[in-house]
Structure 1
């Protein structure tokens, strides 16, 4: 693989941070966190940078790293088997021809973080990221 396990782990952590966010459920509460049970902590706001950071991190990967990242997603999701790694990488490279598909693909898949972690596991790569 051309992508470092530490990089995949960082992306998994950022994806999990994005996945736990929800839409504005109490946008005009006007109260303090103690009064509303701190429910706004997991609500996305206009100053939310996690998704932008994730997009920047993925965009900063080179073509081979992005292809490996998406291939891990496909293997973890069960679309392809570990034995089909080269085909998964080729397919990922075709899908990410413009260079922006990586982050978009990850954010479009519910539980992408878990699929990436599963992909690492299925490929026999140890990593230190707990399941979500």
Structure 2
């Protein structure tokens, strides 16, 4: 298979997806905690030391990722979605034509939404690329 989307573009999307996945939304101190042993409403500063480990979501990362997906041509977006499906196991690499055809029949905005909402998108895209012997290793590095 020959990629329609430049590998470095796909790798940048993977990097943004990984950054987006790494963000942990700050817990609302007014919400009930799942584990009463770890959290008590009477704790100092509504959560104590644990709150320093949480970051507010950086909406810039999500916006950059969405913009990168939006900048893709329709066939490139379909390819990206199909690669994610292959990496997730929805399709096997031998079913590429079917995966690409279904992704190509998906509305571009719906494709972007599905990719943005896909848990572990970075890993799925990497696995999809690996299924076709592509890798982001060394892409974008300065020699």
TM-score, length of structure 1 as denominator length = 0.79
What's the CA shift string for 1:101-128, capped at 9, x where partnerless?
2321112211111000000001111322
Which residue is 2:112 aligned to?
Answer: 103
Structure 2: distance between partners of 1:5 and 1:121? 12
| Structure 2 unaligned spans of 5+ | 30-44, 139-143
How far did residue 25 of structure 1 move?
2.6
Structure 2: distance between partners of 1:102 and 1:68? 10
Which residue is 2:38 aligned to?
Answer: none
Pairing of 1:1-132 with structure 2 (within 5 A): 1-25=3-27, 38-40=52-54, 42-44=55-57, 48-95=59-106, 97=107, 99-128=108-137
Structure 2: distance between partners of 1:94 and 1:9? 24
Report the structure number with the largest CA radius of gyration: 2
Figure out how many residues of one structure are paired with residues of the other and give that number.
118
Structure 2: distance between partners of 1:128 and 1:79? 24
SS in 2 for 1:49: helix
Note if contact 2:88-2:128 (Cα within 8 Å) is conserved in structure 1: yes
How far did residue 9 of structure 1 move?
0.5
Moved runs in structure 1, 4+ residues, more than 6 A? none
How far did residue 26 of structure 1 move?
6.8
Moved more, 102-111 or 54-63: 102-111
What's the Cα RMSD here? 2.2
